[in-house]
Copies of this chain bind each other. A is one copy, B any other.
Amino acid sequence: MLALLVTPRLVTGQAAETARSVVLFVGDGVDDHQLTIARNYLLGADGVFVFETFEHQAAAKVLTVLEADPRVPEYVGDSASGGTAIAAGVVTSRGRIATRAGTGEPVPTLLELAAGAGKRTGIVTTSSVTDATPASFVAHIGGRFCEGPSDMLPTPTDPRCPDDLKARGGAGSIAEQLAVSGVDVLLGGGYEHFDQPDEAGVSVLRRAREAGYRIVRGPAGLREAEGDSGPILGLFGDGTLPVEWVGEGGSRARPVQVTAAGQVIAPEPFRCMENPDFGSRPTLEAMTRSALTRLESAPTGFFLMVESASIDKQAHRGDPCGQIGETRALDQAVRVAVAFQERHPDTLILVASDHGHAAQIVPWPSLFAMRRSDAQYPPGKVARLRTLEGGLMAVSYGTNTHYLEEHTGTQVPVYAQGPGAAAVRGLIRQSDLFRIVRRALALE
């Protein structure tokens, strides 16, 4: 009797741990601080994103090593090393796409393992589909910037990827690898990396068509392709797709001005608005919905990676509205997956990040403005946002004086819901996500 009572519970427990499909979101550059900035603006200080309601949450350590000596840790990663940790479960050096630091040995990715197990696969991103995060799931190459055939040869400041040239027995650029990858759904930007001749003088677009891809470039093409279940390559922009939101009048963070008399001139507060240049392109939400519609009928489930890429890219630019709008886009795309999961409870949803970023909420005026007679202000760029709840939020970017802001080395949050999600708890390594998904999908 005891055995009878216990056994079904164990069986149920095991069954619940196996997922048929996985939707893995990557918020590029998301950390606790970037999330708080976006939450304060969009939902108010007491708001909550849909993924923040997920039952299982963890913090992930971002581990990276030096290329020159992979025994030595590097304390700040990038989308290539972070993407590779998540996609392939290995700690590698910055810039590497699903290859080991030092040796360049390719390592199998979750997407490849899922495909090998008969699952369908998909990649959705607001960057070029050849950018570091999506590439980490599909390609294997020494340098993230080798996006198309013309990017392979060394430049004065970047060794690029001469060893990956097909003439040297390599697999070619990231676009060339994607063109023959067999990934069922590839949606994002990056047309310019495909519209190039390869080493044999054949355009990568043609290679993709020869491999069976239907190539679409706008929402109409995406809709027309709905009747067709074959592989699709949607390229909705030349490079990174435009962001959904911008600051009023293009406002972003700028250096604080101080008068000769020591008076701090605060940057004028502004609000965020829809980007007039977004055009008719599909949003991340629309691309996610389209991908899930195409993958829903997969006989044995699927693996889909969805990236909101420009949280990172706009943080680099010191553009809080850009990063807030793209965090909103992430939340909306996750809502689509949650609705899908309600219909298909055997779906595991994960929301992860590859590395931290520069923006910090700072007091304005300074905590010390009243106590000190000298000027008190941050040394970097500052934006003051009028939030939707009527507050005034000052965001400081203080990591690079003259150019783009830098990634930071903080641990990053992870959210999970669905079968296999319970392993997302406490403090994990980014690379544990590979093992968690592999186990959830029973891949080997």
Contacts and interface: CB of A to CB of B under 8 A. Distances in A.
Given A33-B33, A45-B73, A52 B367 contact: no
B362 A409 contact: yes
Given A360-B410, A393-B409, A379 B377 contact: no
A375 B400 CA distance: 10
Contacts of A391: 72-75
Contacts of A35: 411
A363 B316 CA distance: 13
Interface string A33-77: 101110110001110100011110111010100000000111110
A401 interface: yes
B33 A356 contact: yes
A327 interface: no
Q: How many copies of this chain does one complex carry?
A: 2
Given A360-B399, A393-B409, A401-B379, A57 B426 contact: yes
Contacts of A1: 1
B59 A413 contact: yes
A394 interface: yes
Contacts of A46: 61, 63, 429
Given A61-B46, A409-B36, A429-B46, A376 B396 contact: no
A36 B73 contact: no
A78 interface: yes
Interface of A: 1, 5, 31-33, 35-37, 39-40, 44-46, 48, 52-55, 57-59, 61, 63, 72-76, 78, 94, 157-158, 356, 358, 360-363, 366-368, 370-372, 374-380, 387, 389-394, 396, 398-404, 406-413, 425-427, 429
Which 7 interchain pairs have the tightest Cβ spacing? A398-B398, A361-B409, A379-B379, A33-B410, A76-B363, A73-B391, A52-B427
Given A32-B412, A358-B360, 4 more contacts: A5-B5, A32-B410, A48-B427, A76-B361
